Structure 1
Amino acid sequence: MSKECIAGVSYSQGLAHLAVLEVKEKETKLLHLEEFINAGQNPLWYLEYLLEPKLRVLKKVDKVSVGLDMADIILHQFPLDITLSKENQNEHIHWELSNLVEGYQSKDYIYDLHVLESNPENQVAEVLAVAVKQLQIYRLQENLERKKIALHIVDAAYFGAEQSLLTNFPEVKNKSVVLLYCSHNRIDVGLEIGGTLKKYRYGIDRTADGVVELVKDVVDNVTLNEIYCSGPAVPSDIKQPLQNAFGSKVLMVNPFRQMITTSTFISYDTFAGIEHRFASAVGLALKQI
């Protein structure tokens, strides 16, 4: 594998997180981190450091992954008949999404499908559809191509954090854990069993009581090993209420725990204690297609 310079960026309601990494076959080097706010009217403001780079390290970037704000995405969990043909499944998924979005047109959206549970006996799978407007992806790609930068991966920010969790805490692949992705306007919660997403919910109540109730809804009767928090806006008062409610350790997802082998970023210490804010950006940057 030749050397690549890959950036990951995630954003949430006016706050973005950027990580730049140099990736070789046996080494991943952290080159740069940036946390910045939206200071203008550009809809692609979260790419400004890459589209108009002022630092030498940012001019080296070959490809970019983007963790989309969870509020910019349609997420819908529903049962799907697995006996349907691919074409009929596609029609059914778009029909499901059309019931959520007024004026929905299938030609305007692309989606990814996550199978949460499958029951061959009943020939039904519980799935999570993740949809985004095609125009948003096209604009990302078009603007990056003008700067000769490839678009690597675009996904919901939660799944970037999930990638960081699985890579940096590989022991969770043998456990039942909850992953929280905390944005400024919502909390996304996934039940991960054996390293696979099995149940998903989100809520807009960011109070400690609201988050505990949301996690209870996801967990149901499953015995948890740990709870992991990530995202740009983890509530400062959430750790103890979660520990009290579930009797589980509450940990932050540090995306640099095992993924990064070396670093030339001299300002890394200034981000000590908030590494979890970069979980989505780093996870998607290093995710293999």
Structure 2
Amino acid sequence: MTIRLVLAGCGNMGFAMLSGWLKSGKLAPQSVFVVEPNDALRKRAEALGCGVAADAAGIPADAVPSLAVIAVKPQVIREVTAAYTRFGDGRTTFLSVAAGTSVATFTSILGDSAPIVRCMPNTPAAIGKGMMVVFCNPLVSDETKRFVADLLSASGQVAEIDDEGLMDAVTAVSGSGPAYIFHFIEALTAAAEKAGLPARTAGLLAMQTVYGAASLAAESHEDPGVLRQQVTSPNGTTAAALAVLMGEERLTKLLTEAVEAARLRSIELGK
């Protein structure tokens, strides 16, 4: 079968994406070729039925993939991408999931003919609940955009932005955002324990409450503000708690400061 996709890097994110593509039937194993220098990581891709090699030189000489996915850490992105310049003639679209690496960086390596898609995923993509945001350079065709969006949908929701400068904000919201939620669960657990609940029960209540509320918000046709109001009885317990969180817009201001700090750091790291 013709190689349709080359995956450079099969670590946690790369393997999660690959597994999603194959399980969903969006790609056949024989149409994927994985390049991964780590023996153990390479073998698990091979076990799925994909072609594998330790480096890009092992890709069949006649291969012209529709898509080359670069799923390696930002610090090695230049070195890794340089091995794929043979695919920079415009027939192969490059999809990067490396945080903070601009389209201009890839163009400087691959040349001006390469269609490039920059994607910011987040860790829930590993269980098919992720948020993937993409930016495409002008060389990416509408057909390829649809193909990429369909592939990424196996890992969660997909959104496209038309201004690459917004990627720093995307990083600050959905890229780093899971950590904010994890810390919220930690904080709610600590508060539950201080209120007298056993540690195990406190942790379960905090985690399941966040999970259930997020699921309800995702599946409901109501605005989150409406859902909040539905839970809040006048002068009730929820109202008392929200008076603390929403008074002087405390939580909104805190999250705004946090997102801005992450956005500015993303800009610094991208220089």
Higher Cα Rg: structure 1 or 2? Answer: 2
Q: Hey, which of these two has a bigger chunk of helix by percent?
A: 2
Relative contact order, higher structure (CA 8 A, sep 6+): 1
Q: Does TM-score exceed 0.5, indicating one fold?
A: no
TM-score interval (norm. to shorter): under 0.3
The answer to which structure has the higher strand fraction is 1
